[in-house]
Amino acid sequence: MRDHHDGLDALKRVCEASTDLLPVDGASISISLGPRLRSTLYASDAVSSRIESLQFSLGEGPCFQSFETRRPVLVPDLVNFTTREWPVFAKELARLRIGAIFAFPMQRGAIRIGVVDFYRTKPGWLSPSELAAALEVVDIATLLLLDAQSGPIAAESWPTTRLDHEQVHQATGVLIAAFGIPAEEALARLRAYAFARDQLVDEVARAIMARRLSPRELVDEP
């Protein structure tokens, strides 16, 4: 059997190659870990990484919408775009000067795995042939990830690009253990605290784990 590390390396190469194949400036791949919780496996550049971090921190965005609806979310013109699905994330995107964003669900039959996100700096639709190519990229990535998941996905498989939010999971566990609240509420507390202070949820989690921030401050928030 092919080593699952080879599959993850191939997944990374597919993500990188997609930015040459398609008229996009960046791409990212994320997997679902539970309700409103996801982990970014790979981001091709700093902007893609920022997009993923914002979605994770806010708990909303085209990635969540695409995963939940099982359909692509195609936004060719973010400048003139309004949505009730992820209004806060859309506002944050304006700061990044992104023209378009496209999210595609990774799924096989009834199995949902994650989402592939693409962005471009200039507005514009994907042509029918480009859309077909994007769907083919997503299909390949899905098959590679399913193959890779036949073994454990180890952190060392993605030494420089994996953004797994490990400390967020740890900080969530701290809140659960300390106050006996459900996991979803603990994560919501982290996100609310971060949003109120214009921080990423990862930054708040790091502060908790480094004991610079007391968990009590999050639970006592109104």
pLDDT digits over 42-93, tens only?
899 999 999 998 998 888 999 999 999 999 999 999 988 888 889 989 988 8
pLDDT band at residue 125 using 50, 70 and 90 as cut-offs:
very high
How much is the pLDDT for 126? Answer: 95
Region 96-103: mean pLDDT is 94
* pTM of the model as a whole: 0.77
Domain residue limits, the chain? 4-157, 166-219
Dist. CA 96–CA 5, nearest whole Å: 33
Helix, coil or strand: residue 220:
coil
pLDDT at residue 174 greater than cutoff 60: yes
pLDDT band at residue 221 using 50, 70 and 90 as cut-offs:
low
User: Measuring CA to CA, which residue among 96, 89, 102, 112 is closest to residue 38?
Assistant: 112
How much is the pLDDT for 220? Answer: 72
Record: fold of 4-157: Beta-Lactamase (3.30.450)
Q: Which residue has the higher pLDDT, 94 or 221?
A: 94
How much is the pLDDT for 83? Answer: 86
Q: Which residue has the higher pLDDT, 30 or 164?
A: 30
Q: Could you please report the per-residue DSSP string of 28-74?
A: EEEEEEETTEEEEEEESSHHHHHHHHHHHHHT-SHHHHHHHHTS-EE
Helix, coil or strand: residue 111:
strand
Name the residue with tokens 């509420």. Answer: 185
